Structure 1
Amino acid sequence: MTVTEPAQGLDTSVRTELYRTMVLIRTFEEAILRDYHADKKPVFDIGAGLIPGEMHLSAGQEPVAAGVCAHLTTDDAITATHRPHHLAIAHGVDLRTLAAEIFGRETGLGRGRGGHMHLFDPTTHFSCSGIIAEGYPPALGQAFAFTRQGTGRIAVAVTGEGAVNQGAFHESLNLAAQWRLPVVFVVEDNDWAISVPRRASTPIASNADRAAAYGIPGERVEDNAVEAVYAAAGRAVARARAGEGPSLIEVHTLRLWGHFEGDPQTYRDDLATVAEHDPIPAYEQTLRDAGLLDDVEVARIREDATARVDDGITYAKNSPSPDPATALSAVFA
């Protein structure tokens, strides 16, 4: 099933909160973008600077995180991909410890050892991995534990459209359906698996259609529409909490920036128009037209986001780097 319509009668406070979450995510990633590139000039050096290593930012994919995580509590679990910041923020991961981990500082989620692709936060049951489709099997384990505990908690597993051809994707859907596990599978279709267009790797137009092979519901949300994501996620989450088993949601979203920072994106044929489809100004205009936002409220939301992000970034920069003498302290062998 393909979905483009928002939830009927959506509460005004929910709509403005979706916008607020999206703005906070973008503000955070714009700050990371600035600091990531600030000292990698004049020639880009991926190993240099305050934030060395690869960086995968999620600008354009905010509707997925906002729409899905609006239905979750921090008692629910979520596993994300190598592009995880939007989901971490929407799920309530603390901005200070998140930023500190990205900067590789001792006060970070993993004490600066994991970096941005290996975030782990037991307080919100959030995790991610740089391995393709890796988050799906752990979500099954979490969902199985929740079932045995009888808590009503659920797990959400997020991956990209390039990962749906991995064995882990199909094995996870099969087992979750067989055991009726309380898990929601989410596929972020941003059209590009690194540099490979989906048309070159996947023979069907909607990965949501694959749900039928496992006897579970599947929905595809078009147009990167946050309210339609919210509606689809609401149905899937309710089904999971009611003990009715898993669901699959695919969202046709958008990657505004490169696969990684420094990516020249010479493979993309949509760069000239991609900025026109930015979901944040589009949703802002929707809420303005509905009389829910005006210049004053938009400014207030942006100022609040900036203040929270500035606090997190400042905390990270002022935090100590790990002591090299502790390099082996968390190694098993």
Structure 2
Amino acid sequence: MSTITSPPVTSRALPAELRVSLYETMVLSRTYEEAILREYHADKGPGFDIGKGLVPGEMHLSAGQEPVAAGVCAHLTAADAVTATHRPHHFAIAHGVDLRSMTAEIFGRVDGLGRGRGGHMHLFDPETHFSCSGIIAEGYPPALGMAFAFQRQGTDSIAVAVTGEGAANQGAFHESLNLAGLWRLPVVFVVEDNDWGISVPRRASTSIANNADRAAANGMPGVRVEDNDVEAVWEAARTAVQRARAGEGPSLIEVHTLRMWGHFEGDAQGYRPDLAELAGHDPIPAYADKLMAAGVLDDAAVERIHAAASERVEDAVAFAKASPVPDPATAHQYVFNERSTR
């Protein structure tokens, strides 16, 4: 099974309603990340103290990678599982995780998904079968477990496992592809290739140009989508999801996407020669221009979509700020510890 490079969607236009929905998901995700960026940096000065503020610790935001989540998750339901990376918000939003609960978790509040215990890299939502982890490639093996369960239950639910191109060099990545191919599990592997594994360029870490080529060695089709094209992602995901639901086994989709901001907030990105060019490659205004040229959107519609997204996001931020901080006396609740086993 050879690698297929997914072409731009030109043979048939997607329905206008679907295209608008994809755009709305991308806008909601970016609006959310901009709000988290604002709140994260609001009280970390003077200078930059990563341990200060309402949201202490590291923060990894997904601006520029919205087309991947929007295109893939448009095919999923809450009965499907998604395991995401340490840069998870766009996939959580696209898969329908509740904004209020997610934001409260990011702020470390008791009304969060994990009662404020996990933070932004450890979001778990049983309602939508969504999870993520700060460990590189960690989401792949759990996705296989869920796909195996779906297969044994005889449902048509599937799992989607997301990682970055740097994690495609981890053992868990290769082991998971092998087992999924061997057992023909209903899983779709997604690699977000944003060119940088923290500060290391892909060419300095990976022996092949396309990680999608690795699919063939594990008995599954591999597709690479170029140009951060949400409609091409949608097309590639449609084929992969249909294949998984039909019991035909796994697929690998690699998307050449874009990390517009730092690996983490506070990353000066001095290693990147392309910083001046990033704004010109922003996928959201580019997609808006495409839809307006096609007569699908106009300026008023774009404004309404942004306003609706802002209203939802600001509501979630206000909810999180109003939620109480966990009582230190409850530190041993909801977590595994020696006393809980007695």
| TM-score in terms of structure 2 length | 0.96
The answer to whether the Cα contact below 8 Å between 1:4 and 1:225 also exists between their aligned partners in 2 is no
Gaps of 5+ in 1: none
2:210 to 190, 198, 206: 206
Q: Structure 1 residue 127: deviation in Å?
A: 0.1
Contact 1:143 1:182 in 2 (8 A): yes
1:310-321 matched pairs, under 5 angstroms: 310-321=314-325
In structure 2, what is the Cα distance between the partners aligned to 1:310 and 1:95?
10
1:194 aligns with 2:185: no
Asked if the contact 1:173/1:214 (under 8 Å) is kept, the reply is yes
1:17 maps to what in 2?
A: 21
Aligned to 2:327: 323
| C-alpha contact 1:5 1:227 (8 A) present in aligned 2 | yes
Instruction: Give the structure-1-normalised TM-score.
Output: 0.99
| 1:104-115 aligned within 5 A | 104-115=108-119
SS at match of 2:121: coil
How far is 1:185 from its partner?
0.1
1:77-118 Cα shifts (integer Å, max 9, x gaps): 000000000000000000000100000000000000000000
Equivalent of 2:92 in 68, 83, 88: 88
- Report deviation, 1:8: 2.4
1:163-202 equivalent positions in 2, closer than 5 A = 163-202=167-206
Q: What is the aligned counterpart of 1:242 among 246, 258, 274?
A: 246
In structure 2, the partner of 1:215 is 219
Which blocks of at least 5 consecutive residues in structure 2 are unaligned?
Answer: none
Tell me, yes or no, if structure 1 residue 160 matches structure 2 residue 164.
yes
Equivalent AA in structure 1 for residue 201 of structure 2: P
Shift of 1:204: 1.1
> Considering only aligned residues, what root-mean-square deviation do their CA atoms show, in Å?
0.7
Hey, what's the Cα distance between the residues in 2 that align with 1:90 and 1:147?
A: 24
Please give the alpha-carbon distance, in whole angstroms, between the structure 2 residues aligned to 1:304 and 1:48. Answer: 31
TM-superposed CA distance for 1:34, in Å, is 0.3
Matches within 5 A, 1:93-104: 93-104=97-108
1:56 corresponds to? 60
Matched, 1:125 2:133: no
List per-residue Cα deviations over 1:267-316 (Å, max 9, x = no partner).
Answer: 11111111110000000000000001111101110110011001100000
Deviations 1:31-58 (A, max 9, x none): 0000000001121000000100000000
In structure 2, the residue matched to 1:282 is 286
Instruction: Determine the C-alpha separation between the residues in 1 that align with 2:65 and 2:44.
Output: 26
Give how far 1:11 is off: 1.0
Counterpart amino acid of 1:5?
P
Count residues in correspondence: 333
User: SS of 2:138's equivalent?
Assistant: coil
* 2:7 alignment counterpart: 4
Aligned residues of 1:81 and 1:130 also touching (Cα < 8 A): yes
Is 1:39 the counterpart of 2:33? The answer is no
2:306 is matched by which residue type in structure 1? R
Distance in 2 of aligned mates of 1:210 and 1:270: 28
Alignment pair present for 1:265 and 2:269: yes
Instruction: Please state how far the C-alpha of 1:4 moved relative to its aligned partner.
Output: 2.9
Query: Segments of 4+ in structure 1 off by > 4 A?
Result: none
Deviation at 1:9, TM superposition (A): 3.4
Query: Which residue identity does 1:323 align to in structure 2?
Result: D
| 3-state SS, counterpart of residue 288 of structure 2 | helix
Distance, in Å, in 1 between the alignment partners of 2:100 and 2:275 is 33
